[in-house]
Amino acid sequence: MKSYSLYQKDYHSEIRTRYAVNSLAMFIIVAISVILFSIGNEKINQSLTGGLYWVVIFFSAMSGLARAFVSEEERGTSLTLQLIASPSTVFTGKLIFNLILVFLMNIVITILYAALFEEFIIRNFLLFLLTFLLGNIGLAVSSTIIAAIIAKAGSKGTLYPVLSFPILLPLILTSVQLTIFSMDGTTIGESIVELAIVVCYDIIMISVSYMLFDFIWKD
């Protein structure tokens, strides 16, 4: 329950300033419009649309999710958190907040994307939903643990995408593949291997994060 209170604390301080939500929303609009401008009147094919969808998701996540632990360090509240809660509780609270942020962000991206890109037609909706769920969980977990590392390291913003990209690469490659499958209308049975990879990735990342967060969090 303590982790839920931690989530509520983050939620209230987010509602007060709306910093993460505002910057995320603007970033999504900027990223999608840059892609739309660069495409112009060209017709792009399906696989490129699926790939660009994950490009937007990756860079939006990089701009919005780094704040989770950096804000604590900036306000000097991380020592208080260390006193009142165990490391895994803190991590769960931050993870819930980032999960909700990622899901909100990706729902907005998907709606905008479906409205603006003609080729973005989902033929196997269930597969897309599974990809969306599993991909977002993996994205949230990996970016939360990297955010914790970044908050303790010297340079805050610039290092975040550099550190996250190699960690997220297996997830992104497989998710792009699965998104293209769901646009082709491939059945779930045929794409079971890719789904299994994403599930493995999520489980591995969750367990590794919980095991290693203690070392990052304690100074």
Partner 1 sequence: MIWKIFLFLLLGFVSVAGIAFPIVEKPSAWYEFPFIPGLEENAKIIFFHVPTAWLTVIAFLMSTIFSVKYLRKKNLDDDAKSYSAAQLGIIFCILATVTGSVWSKFAWGSFWSWDPRQTSIFALLLIYGAWFALRSSIESEDKRATLSAVYAIIAFVTVPFFIFIMPRIMAGLHPGSADDTNAGPVVNFKMNSSMQLIFFLSLIGFTILYFWMWRIGFKSIILRDKLNKQLIIPNKSGQEG
Is residue 58 within 8 A of residue 172, CB to CB? The reply is yes
Nearest distance in Å: CB 218, partner 1: 9
Distance in angstroms (rounded) separating the CA atoms of residues 99 and 128: 18
Place of tokens 């037609």: 121
Per-residue buried b or exposed e for 138-148, using 16+ beta carbons within 10 Å of the residue's own CB = bbbbbbbbbbb
x/- string (CB under 8 A) for partner 1, residues 185-204?
--------xx--x--xx--x
Among residues 39, 122, 167, 195, the one that binds partner 1 under rule CB under 8 A: 167
Q: How far is the CB of 219 from partner 1 (least distance, A)?
A: 8
Least Å distance between CB 163 and partner 1?
5
Number of residues that bind partner 1 (CB under 8 A): 29
Q: 13: helix, coil or strand?
A: helix
DSSP at 119:
T
23 CB-near residues (< 8 Å, 6+ apart): 63, 64
Give me the least distance between CB of 59 and partner 1, in Å please: 16
* By CB under 8 A, residue 206 contacts partner 1: no
Return the residues of window 94-153 that contact partner 1 according to CB under 8 A.
145-146, 149, 152-153
How far is 111 from 120, CA to CA, in rounded Å?
10
Residues that bind partner 1 (CB under 8 A): 145-146, 149, 152-155, 159, 162-163, 165-167, 169-170, 173, 193-194, 197, 200-201, 204-205, 208-209, 212, 215-216, 219
